[in-house]
A and B are shown apart, each in its own frame.
Chain A
Protein backbone atom coordinates (compact mmCIF):
# COMPACT_ATOMS: atom_id res chain seq x y z
CA UNK A 1 0.00 0.00 0.00
CA UNK A 2 2.74 2.48 0.94
CA UNK A 3 4.49 1.55 -2.30
CA UNK A 4 1.36 2.52 -4.21
CA UNK A 5 1.17 5.86 -2.40
CA UNK A 6 4.83 6.57 -3.04
CA UNK A 7 4.34 5.94 -6.74
CA UNK A 8 1.35 8.29 -6.76
CA UNK A 9 3.35 10.97 -4.95
CA UNK A 10 6.24 10.72 -7.43
CA UNK A 11 3.93 11.01 -10.43
CA UNK A 12 1.93 13.85 -8.87
CA UNK A 13 5.12 15.72 -7.98
CA UNK A 14 6.41 15.46 -11.53
CA UNK A 15 3.13 16.71 -12.98
CA UNK A 16 3.08 19.60 -10.51
CA UNK A 17 6.68 20.43 -11.34
CA UNK A 18 5.96 20.57 -15.07
CA UNK A 19 2.86 22.62 -14.32
CA UNK A 20 4.95 25.07 -12.33
CA UNK A 21 7.72 25.31 -14.94
CA UNK A 22 5.14 25.98 -17.65
CA UNK A 23 3.27 28.57 -15.61
CA UNK A 24 6.42 30.59 -14.80
CA UNK A 25 7.57 30.34 -18.41
CA UNK A 26 10.70 28.21 -17.95
CA UNK A 27 9.11 25.83 -20.45
CA UNK A 28 7.78 27.97 -23.30
CA UNK A 29 4.23 27.44 -24.51
CA UNK A 30 5.59 26.61 -27.94
CA UNK A 31 7.37 23.56 -26.50
CA UNK A 32 4.86 22.19 -24.04
CA UNK A 33 1.48 22.94 -22.57
CA UNK A 34 0.91 22.99 -18.83
CA UNK A 35 -0.74 19.70 -17.78
CA UNK A 36 -3.85 21.55 -16.60
CA UNK A 37 -4.08 23.17 -20.04
CA UNK A 38 -3.82 19.75 -21.69
CA UNK A 39 -6.84 18.59 -19.71
CA UNK A 40 -8.78 21.65 -20.83
CA UNK A 41 -7.80 21.07 -24.46
CA UNK A 42 -8.77 17.40 -24.23
CA UNK A 43 -12.17 18.27 -22.80
CA UNK A 44 -12.58 20.76 -25.61
CA UNK A 45 -11.83 18.38 -28.49
CA UNK A 46 -14.03 15.72 -26.91
CA UNK A 47 -16.83 18.30 -26.66
CA UNK A 48 -16.53 19.60 -30.21
CA UNK A 49 -16.05 16.10 -31.58
CA UNK A 50 -13.42 17.44 -33.93
CA UNK A 51 -11.32 14.25 -33.73
CA UNK A 52 -14.09 11.76 -32.98
CA UNK A 53 -13.67 10.02 -36.33
CA UNK A 54 -9.90 9.65 -35.77
CA UNK A 55 -10.40 8.40 -32.24
CA UNK A 56 -12.98 5.87 -33.37
CA UNK A 57 -10.75 4.63 -36.20
CA UNK A 58 -7.78 4.14 -33.91
CA UNK A 59 -9.60 2.30 -31.14
CA UNK A 60 -11.45 0.13 -33.64
CA UNK A 61 -8.15 -0.81 -35.26
CA UNK A 62 -6.58 -1.54 -31.88
CA UNK A 63 -9.54 -3.75 -30.93
CA UNK A 64 -9.39 -5.66 -34.21
CA UNK A 65 -5.64 -6.07 -34.00
CA UNK A 66 -5.85 -7.30 -30.39
CA UNK A 67 -8.60 -9.79 -31.19
CA UNK A 68 -6.80 -11.10 -34.28
CA UNK A 69 -3.49 -11.41 -32.43
CA UNK A 70 -5.07 -13.34 -29.56
CA UNK A 71 -6.98 -15.75 -31.77
CA UNK A 72 -4.24 -16.26 -34.36
CA UNK A 73 -1.53 -16.44 -31.69
CA UNK A 74 -3.45 -19.00 -29.66
CA UNK A 75 -4.24 -21.19 -32.66
CA UNK A 76 -0.69 -20.93 -33.99
CA UNK A 77 0.60 -21.73 -30.50
CA UNK A 78 -1.53 -24.87 -30.34
CA UNK A 79 -0.36 -26.00 -33.77
CA UNK A 80 3.32 -25.35 -33.02
CA UNK A 81 2.97 -27.12 -29.66
CA UNK A 82 1.50 -30.20 -31.27
CA UNK A 83 4.32 -30.43 -33.85
CA UNK A 84 7.56 -30.72 -31.86
CA UNK A 85 9.76 -30.79 -34.98
CA UNK A 86 8.25 -27.54 -36.24
CA UNK A 87 8.60 -26.05 -32.80
CA UNK A 88 12.24 -27.03 -32.60
CA UNK A 89 12.84 -25.27 -35.91
CA UNK A 90 10.87 -22.14 -34.98
CA UNK A 91 12.02 -21.66 -31.40
CA UNK A 92 15.14 -19.55 -32.16
CA UNK A 93 13.11 -17.38 -34.53
CA UNK A 94 10.42 -16.79 -31.92
CA UNK A 95 13.01 -16.01 -29.27
CA UNK A 96 14.73 -13.32 -31.36
CA UNK A 97 11.55 -12.04 -33.01
CA UNK A 98 11.33 -8.80 -31.09
CA UNK A 99 14.84 -7.86 -32.16
CA UNK A 100 13.37 -7.16 -35.62
CA UNK A 101 11.96 -3.63 -36.10
CA UNK A 102 8.67 -4.75 -37.63
CA UNK A 103 7.97 -1.27 -38.98
CA UNK A 104 10.62 -1.60 -41.68
CA UNK A 105 8.12 -3.82 -43.49
CA UNK A 106 5.62 -1.02 -43.93
CA UNK A 107 6.23 -0.57 -47.67
CA UNK A 108 5.36 -4.22 -48.20
CA UNK A 109 2.06 -3.83 -46.39
CA UNK A 110 1.18 -0.72 -48.34
CA UNK A 111 1.81 -2.60 -51.56
CA UNK A 112 -0.30 -5.49 -50.32
CA UNK A 113 -3.16 -3.71 -48.56
CA UNK A 114 -2.85 -0.10 -49.67
CA UNK A 115 -2.82 2.92 -47.36
CA UNK A 116 -5.39 2.54 -44.62
CA UNK A 117 -6.70 0.42 -41.80
CA UNK A 118 -5.85 -2.95 -43.38
CA UNK A 119 -2.13 -2.14 -43.52
CA UNK A 120 -2.17 -0.72 -40.02
CA UNK A 121 -3.91 -3.74 -38.56
CA UNK A 122 -1.55 -6.06 -40.41
CA UNK A 123 1.53 -4.39 -38.99
CA UNK A 124 0.05 -4.30 -35.47
CA UNK A 125 -0.87 -7.99 -35.64
CA UNK A 126 2.60 -8.80 -36.92
CA UNK A 127 3.98 -7.01 -33.89
CA UNK A 128 1.58 -8.52 -31.34
CA UNK A 129 0.91 -12.05 -32.47
CA UNK A 130 4.24 -13.54 -31.48
CA UNK A 131 3.79 -12.56 -27.85
CA UNK A 132 0.55 -14.56 -27.83
CA UNK A 133 2.21 -17.55 -29.52
CA UNK A 134 4.99 -17.51 -26.94
CA UNK A 135 2.53 -17.19 -24.05
CA UNK A 136 0.46 -20.09 -25.38
CA UNK A 137 3.51 -22.35 -25.72
CA UNK A 138 4.70 -21.35 -22.27
CA UNK A 139 1.31 -22.08 -20.73
CA UNK A 140 1.00 -25.47 -22.40
CA UNK A 141 4.51 -26.39 -21.27
CA UNK A 142 3.66 -25.61 -17.70
CA UNK A 143 0.59 -27.75 -17.28
CA UNK A 144 1.66 -30.08 -14.46
CA UNK A 145 1.72 -33.65 -15.71
CA UNK A 146 -0.21 -34.76 -12.66
CA UNK A 147 -3.23 -32.68 -13.75
CA UNK A 148 -3.40 -34.55 -17.05
CA UNK A 149 -3.04 -37.82 -15.15
CA UNK A 150 -5.93 -36.76 -12.93
CA UNK A 151 -8.08 -36.17 -16.02
CA UNK A 152 -7.17 -39.67 -17.19
CA UNK A 153 -8.19 -41.14 -13.85
CA UNK A 154 -11.58 -39.47 -14.29
CA UNK A 155 -11.68 -41.16 -17.70
CA UNK A 156 -12.25 -37.84 -19.47
CA UNK A 157 -12.20 -37.58 -23.27
CA UNK A 158 -9.42 -35.67 -25.02
CA UNK A 159 -11.76 -32.75 -25.74
CA UNK A 160 -13.11 -32.57 -22.18
CA UNK A 161 -9.54 -32.68 -20.84
CA UNK A 162 -8.55 -29.79 -23.09
CA UNK A 163 -11.57 -27.72 -22.13
CA UNK A 164 -11.89 -28.46 -18.41
CA UNK A 165 -8.29 -29.09 -17.35
CA UNK A 166 -5.72 -27.86 -19.84
CA UNK A 167 -7.41 -24.57 -20.72
CA UNK A 168 -8.00 -23.41 -17.11
CA UNK A 169 -4.49 -24.55 -16.19
CA UNK A 170 -2.96 -22.42 -18.96
CA UNK A 171 -5.26 -19.43 -18.50
CA UNK A 172 -2.96 -17.36 -16.26
CA UNK A 173 -0.18 -17.76 -18.85
CA UNK A 174 -2.49 -17.03 -21.76
CA UNK A 175 -3.52 -13.85 -20.04
CA UNK A 176 0.08 -12.65 -20.06
CA UNK A 177 -0.13 -13.02 -23.83
CA UNK A 178 -3.40 -11.09 -23.89
CA UNK A 179 -1.83 -8.23 -21.96
CA UNK A 180 1.13 -8.07 -24.32
CA UNK A 181 -1.13 -8.30 -27.36
CA UNK A 182 -3.08 -5.27 -26.15
CA UNK A 183 0.11 -3.30 -25.51
CA UNK A 184 1.67 -4.21 -28.87
CA UNK A 185 -1.59 -3.43 -30.67
CA UNK A 186 -1.61 0.06 -29.17
CA UNK A 187 1.98 0.61 -30.22
CA UNK A 188 1.54 -0.98 -33.64
CA UNK A 189 -1.62 0.90 -34.57
CA UNK A 190 -0.70 4.36 -33.31
CA UNK A 191 2.87 4.23 -34.57
CA UNK A 192 1.72 3.01 -38.01
CA UNK A 193 -0.73 5.88 -38.23
CA UNK A 194 2.20 8.27 -38.09
CA UNK A 195 3.78 6.73 -41.18
CA UNK A 196 1.12 5.14 -43.34
CA UNK A 197 -2.23 6.70 -42.77
CA UNK A 198 -4.53 9.61 -43.40
CA UNK A 199 -6.65 8.98 -40.33
CA UNK A 200 -6.44 8.03 -36.67
CA UNK A 201 -5.00 9.50 -33.50
CA UNK A 202 -1.39 8.93 -34.60
CA UNK A 203 -2.07 10.71 -37.87
CA UNK A 204 -3.88 13.56 -36.07
CA UNK A 205 -0.96 14.02 -33.67
CA UNK A 206 1.54 14.18 -36.54
CA UNK A 207 -0.72 16.56 -38.42
CA UNK A 208 -1.12 18.87 -35.42
CA UNK A 209 2.62 18.74 -34.85
CA UNK A 210 3.35 19.84 -38.41
CA UNK A 211 0.94 22.76 -38.08
CA UNK A 212 2.28 23.76 -34.64
CA UNK A 213 -1.16 23.09 -33.13
CA UNK A 214 0.15 22.29 -29.69
CA UNK A 215 -3.26 22.33 -28.06
CA UNK A 216 -4.58 19.53 -30.23
CA UNK A 217 -1.36 17.61 -30.15
CA UNK A 218 -1.09 17.49 -26.38
CA UNK A 219 -4.80 16.81 -25.96
CA UNK A 220 -4.45 13.72 -28.17
CA UNK A 221 -1.27 12.58 -26.43
CA UNK A 222 -3.05 12.88 -23.10
CA UNK A 223 -5.99 10.92 -24.46
CA UNK A 224 -3.68 8.04 -25.44
CA UNK A 225 -1.95 8.08 -22.06
CA UNK A 226 -5.21 8.07 -20.12
CA UNK A 227 -6.68 5.27 -22.22
CA UNK A 228 -3.59 3.11 -21.89
CA UNK A 229 -3.52 3.66 -18.14
CA UNK A 230 -7.17 2.67 -17.72
CA UNK A 231 -6.87 -0.41 -19.94
CA UNK A 232 -3.73 -1.53 -18.15
CA UNK A 233 -5.22 -1.05 -14.73
CA UNK A 234 -8.16 -3.27 -15.64
CA UNK A 235 -5.92 -5.93 -17.22
CA UNK A 236 -3.60 -5.92 -14.21
CA UNK A 237 -6.53 -6.37 -11.85
CA UNK A 238 -7.69 -9.46 -13.73
CA UNK A 239 -4.10 -10.68 -13.96
CA UNK A 240 -3.57 -10.42 -10.22
CA UNK A 241 -6.65 -12.51 -9.57
CA UNK A 242 -5.49 -15.19 -11.98
CA UNK A 243 -1.95 -15.19 -10.59
CA UNK A 244 -3.17 -15.51 -7.00
CA UNK A 245 -4.82 -18.78 -7.97
CA UNK A 246 -1.74 -20.04 -9.73
CA UNK A 247 0.51 -19.80 -6.69
CA UNK A 248 1.13 -23.11 -5.03
Chain B
Protein backbone atom coordinates (compact mmCIF):
# COMPACT_ATOMS: atom_id res chain seq x y z
CA UNK B 1 0.00 0.00 0.00
CA UNK B 2 0.99 3.60 -0.43
CA UNK B 3 2.47 5.05 2.76
CA UNK B 4 1.71 8.63 1.79
CA UNK B 5 -1.93 7.84 1.10
CA UNK B 6 -2.24 5.85 4.28
CA UNK B 7 -0.63 8.66 6.20
CA UNK B 8 -2.90 11.27 4.77
CA UNK B 9 -6.02 9.25 5.25
CA UNK B 10 -5.58 7.40 8.48
CA UNK B 11 -3.65 9.74 10.68
CA UNK B 12 -5.23 12.79 12.08
CA UNK B 13 -4.16 14.14 15.42
CA UNK B 14 -6.89 14.70 17.92
CA UNK B 15 -7.46 18.39 18.41
CA UNK B 16 -7.93 18.05 22.10
CA UNK B 17 -8.29 15.09 24.42
CA UNK B 18 -12.00 14.74 25.12
CA UNK B 19 -13.02 15.04 28.76
CA UNK B 20 -13.08 11.51 30.10
CA UNK B 21 -14.40 9.59 33.01
CA UNK B 22 -11.91 7.38 34.85
CA UNK B 23 -12.76 3.70 34.41
CA UNK B 24 -9.98 2.28 36.52
CA UNK B 25 -7.48 4.05 38.76
CA UNK B 26 -4.37 3.20 40.72
CA UNK B 27 -3.18 5.52 43.48
CA UNK B 28 0.21 5.08 45.10
CA UNK B 29 0.14 1.36 44.36
CA UNK B 30 3.19 -0.48 45.67
CA UNK B 31 3.91 -4.20 45.62
CA UNK B 32 6.59 -5.79 47.72
CA UNK B 33 7.27 -9.52 47.60
CA UNK B 34 8.36 -11.33 50.73
CA UNK B 35 11.20 -13.65 49.77
CA UNK B 36 12.55 -16.31 52.15
CA UNK B 37 15.45 -14.15 53.33
CA UNK B 38 14.68 -10.68 51.99
CA UNK B 39 12.03 -8.48 50.45
CA UNK B 40 11.72 -7.49 46.82
CA UNK B 41 10.24 -4.13 45.92
CA UNK B 42 8.68 -5.06 42.59
CA UNK B 43 6.44 -2.14 41.77
CA UNK B 44 5.55 1.43 42.49
CA UNK B 45 4.44 3.73 43.78
CA UNK B 46 2.21 3.89 40.71
CA UNK B 47 -0.52 6.37 39.80
CA UNK B 48 -2.64 5.61 36.79
CA UNK B 49 -6.01 6.66 35.40
CA UNK B 50 -7.53 4.63 32.62
CA UNK B 51 -10.23 6.56 30.80
CA UNK B 52 -13.39 4.71 29.85
CA UNK B 53 -12.88 3.22 26.41
CA UNK B 54 -9.20 4.07 26.32
CA UNK B 55 -6.60 1.82 24.68
CA UNK B 56 -3.61 2.06 26.99
CA UNK B 57 -0.35 0.19 26.56
CA UNK B 58 2.47 -0.42 28.99
CA UNK B 59 6.05 -0.87 27.88
CA UNK B 60 8.96 -1.41 30.20
CA UNK B 61 12.08 -3.46 30.72
CA UNK B 62 11.76 -7.12 31.62
CA UNK B 63 11.06 -7.70 35.29
CA UNK B 64 9.98 -4.12 36.00
CA UNK B 65 6.65 -5.21 37.42
CA UNK B 66 4.27 -5.07 34.44
CA UNK B 67 2.58 -8.38 35.21
CA UNK B 68 2.47 -7.43 38.87
CA UNK B 69 0.64 -4.24 37.92
CA UNK B 70 -1.86 -6.28 35.93
CA UNK B 71 -2.46 -8.65 38.85
CA UNK B 72 -3.29 -5.74 41.13
CA UNK B 73 -5.65 -4.13 38.62
CA UNK B 74 -7.38 -7.49 38.12
CA UNK B 75 -7.76 -8.01 41.86
CA UNK B 76 -5.55 -11.11 41.82
CA UNK B 77 -3.15 -9.70 44.36
CA UNK B 78 -3.35 -6.86 46.83
CA UNK B 79 -0.84 -4.00 46.98
CA UNK B 80 1.11 -3.34 50.17
CA UNK B 81 0.33 0.34 49.81
CA UNK B 82 -2.06 2.35 47.70
CA UNK B 83 -5.46 1.58 46.24
CA UNK B 84 -6.99 0.31 43.03
CA UNK B 85 -10.48 1.27 41.86
CA UNK B 86 -12.61 -0.10 39.06
CA UNK B 87 -15.84 1.62 38.04
CA UNK B 88 -15.75 3.68 41.18
CA UNK B 89 -15.43 0.76 43.58
CA UNK B 90 -12.26 -0.35 45.37
CA UNK B 91 -10.78 -3.50 43.87
CA UNK B 92 -11.04 -6.30 46.41
CA UNK B 93 -10.88 -9.67 44.68
CA UNK B 94 -11.59 -9.94 40.97
CA UNK B 95 -14.28 -7.41 40.01
CA UNK B 96 -17.11 -8.29 37.66
CA UNK B 97 -16.42 -7.10 34.11
CA UNK B 98 -12.65 -7.63 34.06
CA UNK B 99 -11.09 -10.02 31.55
CA UNK B 100 -7.44 -11.09 31.51
CA UNK B 101 -5.21 -12.72 28.92
CA UNK B 102 -2.17 -13.90 30.86
CA UNK B 103 1.43 -13.88 29.73
CA UNK B 104 1.67 -17.64 30.23
CA UNK B 105 -0.42 -20.18 28.35
CA UNK B 106 -3.55 -20.54 30.48
CA UNK B 107 -5.58 -22.83 28.24
CA UNK B 108 -6.98 -25.89 30.01
CA UNK B 109 -5.17 -28.89 28.48
CA UNK B 110 -8.03 -31.28 29.29
CA UNK B 111 -10.62 -29.31 27.31
CA UNK B 112 -10.82 -28.85 23.56
CA UNK B 113 -10.77 -25.39 22.03
CA UNK B 114 -14.54 -25.01 22.01
CA UNK B 115 -14.91 -26.06 25.66
CA UNK B 116 -12.01 -23.84 26.66
CA UNK B 117 -13.69 -20.85 25.08
CA UNK B 118 -17.10 -21.73 26.53
CA UNK B 119 -15.77 -22.45 30.04
CA UNK B 120 -16.28 -19.01 31.57
CA UNK B 121 -19.72 -18.55 30.05
CA UNK B 122 -20.85 -21.89 31.47
CA UNK B 123 -19.58 -20.89 34.90
CA UNK B 124 -21.50 -17.65 34.61
CA UNK B 125 -24.68 -19.58 33.80
CA UNK B 126 -25.22 -17.98 30.42
CA UNK B 127 -28.02 -19.45 28.30
CA UNK B 128 -26.70 -22.34 26.11
CA UNK B 129 -27.91 -20.84 22.84
CA UNK B 130 -26.17 -17.60 23.71
CA UNK B 131 -22.99 -19.51 24.65
CA UNK B 132 -23.09 -21.27 21.29
CA UNK B 133 -23.48 -17.97 19.45
CA UNK B 134 -20.70 -16.14 21.30
CA UNK B 135 -18.28 -19.07 21.16
CA UNK B 136 -18.81 -19.56 17.42
CA UNK B 137 -18.20 -15.88 16.87
CA UNK B 138 -15.04 -15.75 18.99
CA UNK B 139 -13.61 -18.92 17.47
CA UNK B 140 -14.18 -17.53 13.99
CA UNK B 141 -12.82 -14.14 14.97
CA UNK B 142 -9.60 -15.72 16.22
CA UNK B 143 -9.22 -17.97 13.16
CA UNK B 144 -9.71 -21.17 15.15
CA UNK B 145 -12.72 -22.54 13.26
CA UNK B 146 -10.87 -25.62 11.98
CA UNK B 147 -9.48 -26.37 15.42
CA UNK B 148 -12.63 -26.16 17.53
CA UNK B 149 -12.35 -29.85 18.43
CA UNK B 150 -8.56 -29.85 18.91
CA UNK B 151 -6.90 -29.99 22.29
CA UNK B 152 -4.32 -27.37 23.31
CA UNK B 153 -1.49 -29.92 23.10
CA UNK B 154 -2.24 -30.21 19.38
CA UNK B 155 -1.90 -26.44 18.80
CA UNK B 156 1.08 -24.13 18.40
CA UNK B 157 1.92 -21.66 21.16
CA UNK B 158 0.47 -18.80 19.15
CA UNK B 159 -2.78 -20.65 18.57
CA UNK B 160 -3.10 -21.48 22.25
CA UNK B 161 -2.70 -17.81 23.04
CA UNK B 162 -5.52 -17.08 20.57
CA UNK B 163 -7.69 -19.58 22.45
CA UNK B 164 -6.99 -17.58 25.61
CA UNK B 165 -7.88 -14.33 23.86
CA UNK B 166 -11.09 -15.87 22.50
CA UNK B 167 -12.16 -17.13 25.90
CA UNK B 168 -11.61 -13.69 27.38
CA UNK B 169 -13.55 -11.95 24.61
CA UNK B 170 -16.64 -14.14 24.93
CA UNK B 171 -17.10 -12.86 28.46
CA UNK B 172 -17.54 -9.36 27.00
CA UNK B 173 -15.43 -7.70 29.70
CA UNK B 174 -15.60 -3.93 30.14
CA UNK B 175 -11.92 -3.84 31.08
CA UNK B 176 -9.60 -6.11 29.12
CA UNK B 177 -6.10 -6.70 30.48
CA UNK B 178 -3.67 -8.34 28.07
CA UNK B 179 -0.18 -9.42 29.14
CA UNK B 180 2.02 -9.78 26.06
CA UNK B 181 -0.71 -11.70 24.25
CA UNK B 182 1.15 -11.71 20.93
CA UNK B 183 4.51 -12.72 22.33
CA UNK B 184 4.34 -16.16 20.75
CA UNK B 185 3.29 -14.89 17.33
CA UNK B 186 5.39 -13.97 14.31
CA UNK B 187 5.61 -10.34 13.20
CA UNK B 188 3.03 -10.52 10.37
CA UNK B 189 0.48 -12.33 12.50
CA UNK B 190 1.18 -9.89 15.30
CA UNK B 191 0.28 -6.90 13.13
CA UNK B 192 -2.87 -8.59 11.86
CA UNK B 193 -3.91 -9.66 15.35
CA UNK B 194 -3.32 -6.07 16.37
CA UNK B 195 -5.81 -4.99 13.73
CA UNK B 196 -8.32 -7.52 15.03
CA UNK B 197 -7.80 -6.27 18.55
CA UNK B 198 -8.44 -2.71 17.37
CA UNK B 199 -11.58 -3.80 15.56
CA UNK B 200 -12.80 -5.55 18.67
CA UNK B 201 -12.00 -2.56 20.84
CA UNK B 202 -13.95 -0.26 18.51
CA UNK B 203 -16.92 -2.61 18.45
CA UNK B 204 -17.13 -3.17 22.19
CA UNK B 205 -16.04 0.18 23.59
CA UNK B 206 -14.13 -1.75 26.27
CA UNK B 207 -11.19 -0.22 28.06
CA UNK B 208 -7.97 -2.01 27.13
CA UNK B 209 -4.68 -2.27 28.99
CA UNK B 210 -2.05 -4.00 26.87
CA UNK B 211 1.35 -4.99 28.19
CA UNK B 212 3.87 -5.47 25.41
CA UNK B 213 7.58 -5.52 24.82
CA UNK B 214 7.11 -4.45 21.19
CA UNK B 215 7.35 -0.68 20.88
CA UNK B 216 5.79 -0.71 17.40
CA UNK B 217 2.81 -2.60 18.73
CA UNK B 218 2.33 -0.10 21.53
CA UNK B 219 2.75 2.86 19.16
CA UNK B 220 0.35 1.50 16.58
CA UNK B 221 -2.46 0.25 18.81
CA UNK B 222 -2.69 2.68 21.68
CA UNK B 223 -4.31 5.97 22.49
CA UNK B 224 -1.66 6.36 25.14
CA UNK B 225 1.49 4.48 26.11
CA UNK B 226 2.95 4.36 29.60
CA UNK B 227 6.69 3.79 29.83
CA UNK B 228 7.92 2.08 32.96
CA UNK B 229 11.29 2.34 34.69
CA UNK B 230 13.40 -0.60 35.77
CA UNK B 231 12.32 -2.37 38.95
CA UNK B 232 10.70 -1.12 41.09
CA UNK B 233 8.61 -0.05 38.13
CA UNK B 234 7.08 3.41 38.04
CA UNK B 235 5.75 5.35 35.08
CA UNK B 236 8.46 7.64 33.72
CA UNK B 237 6.54 8.88 30.69
CA UNK B 238 3.09 8.88 29.14
CA UNK B 239 2.97 9.28 25.39
CA UNK B 240 -0.30 10.34 23.72
CA UNK B 241 -0.38 8.92 20.22
CA UNK B 242 -3.24 11.02 18.92
CA UNK B 243 -4.54 8.37 16.53
CA UNK B 244 -8.16 8.54 15.61
CA UNK B 245 -10.34 5.68 16.78
CA UNK B 246 -10.74 4.25 13.31
CA UNK B 247 -7.12 3.22 12.76
CA UNK B 248 -5.30 0.09 11.69
CA UNK B 249 -1.83 -1.35 11.19
CA UNK B 250 -1.23 0.84 8.17
CA UNK B 251 -0.31 3.70 10.50
CA UNK B 252 3.11 2.06 10.83
CA UNK B 253 4.07 3.62 7.52
CA UNK B 254 3.40 7.18 8.66
CA UNK B 255 6.06 9.60 9.93
CA UNK B 256 4.05 10.18 13.10
CA UNK B 257 4.37 6.48 13.94
CA UNK B 258 8.13 6.85 13.65
CA UNK B 259 8.04 9.84 16.00
CA UNK B 260 6.07 7.95 18.65
CA UNK B 261 8.28 4.88 18.45
CA UNK B 262 11.39 7.07 18.65
CA UNK B 263 10.11 8.81 21.76
CA UNK B 264 9.27 5.49 23.43
CA UNK B 265 12.67 4.09 22.60
CA UNK B 266 14.45 7.20 23.84
CA UNK B 267 12.91 6.72 27.28
CA UNK B 268 13.20 2.96 27.33
CA UNK B 269 16.78 2.90 26.09
CA UNK B 270 17.97 4.61 29.25
CA UNK B 271 16.21 1.99 31.37
CA UNK B 272 17.46 -0.90 29.26
CA UNK B 273 21.02 0.41 29.59
CA UNK B 274 20.68 0.47 33.37
CA UNK B 275 19.87 -3.24 33.31
CA UNK B 276 22.75 -3.98 30.95
CA UNK B 277 25.29 -2.17 33.12
CA UNK B 278 23.86 -3.69 36.31
CA UNK B 279 24.33 -7.08 34.69
CA UNK B 280 27.97 -6.33 33.90
CA UNK B 281 29.08 -5.08 37.30
Contact = CB atoms under 8 A, between A and B. Distances in A.
Interface of A: 144, 146-147, 149-150, 152-156, 160, 164-165, 168-169, 171, 244-248
Interface string B117-157: 00110011000000000000000000000000001110000
B108 interface: yes
A65 B253 CA distance: 71
B102 interface: yes
11 contacts: A144-B104, A149-B76, A149-B106, A150-B100, A153-B94, A153-B100, A160-B123, A171-B110, A245-B109, A246-B109, A248-B105
Nearest to B167: A150
B108 A244 contact: no
B106 A150 contact: yes
B99 interface: yes
Nearest to A145: B104
Contacts of B104: 144, 146
A169 B5 CA distance: 52
Nearest to B102: A146
B123 A154 contact: yes
B218 interface: no
A152 B152 CA distance: 21
Contacts of B123: 154-156, 160, 164
Interface size bracket, B side:
20 to 34
A177 B133 CA distance: 41
Contacts of B76: 149, 152-153
A-B pairs, top 9 by smallest CB distance, nearest first, are: A168-B110, A146-B104, A146-B106, A247-B153, A150-B106, A154-B120, A245-B109, A154-B123, A146-B102
B27 to A, nearest CB: 23
Nearest to A152: B94
Given A149-B102, A150-B106, A248-B153, 5 more contacts: A149-B71, A152-B76, A155-B93, A244-B153, A245-B109
Contacts of A155: 93-94, 96, 123
A164 B116 CA distance: 12
Contacts of B100: 149-150, 153
A164 B108 CA distance: 10
Q: Which of A144, A146, A164, A244 has the most CB of B within 10 A?
A: A146
B24 interface: no
A245 B106 contact: no
A172 B236 CA distance: 46
A147 B106 CA distance: 6
A246 B153 contact: yes
A245 B99 contact: no
Contacts of A149: 71, 76, 100, 102, 106
A101 B152 CA distance: 43
B257 to A, nearest CB: 33
A244 B124 CA distance: 30
Nearest to B121: A154
Most chain B CB inside 10 Å of its own CB: which residue of A150, A153, A164, A248:
A153
B74 interface: yes
B210 interface: no
B108 A168 contact: yes
A132 B93 CA distance: 34
Given A149-B76, A154-B123, A171-B110, A245 B102 contact: no
A144 B160 CA distance: 15
B42 to A, nearest CB: 16
B149 to A, nearest CB: 14
A39 to B, nearest CB: 42
Contact of B108 (A152, A153, A165, A247): A165
B98 interface: yes
A165 B151 CA distance: 16
B152 A248 contact: yes
A122 B110 CA distance: 35
A153 B124 contact: no
Contacts of B102: 146, 149-150
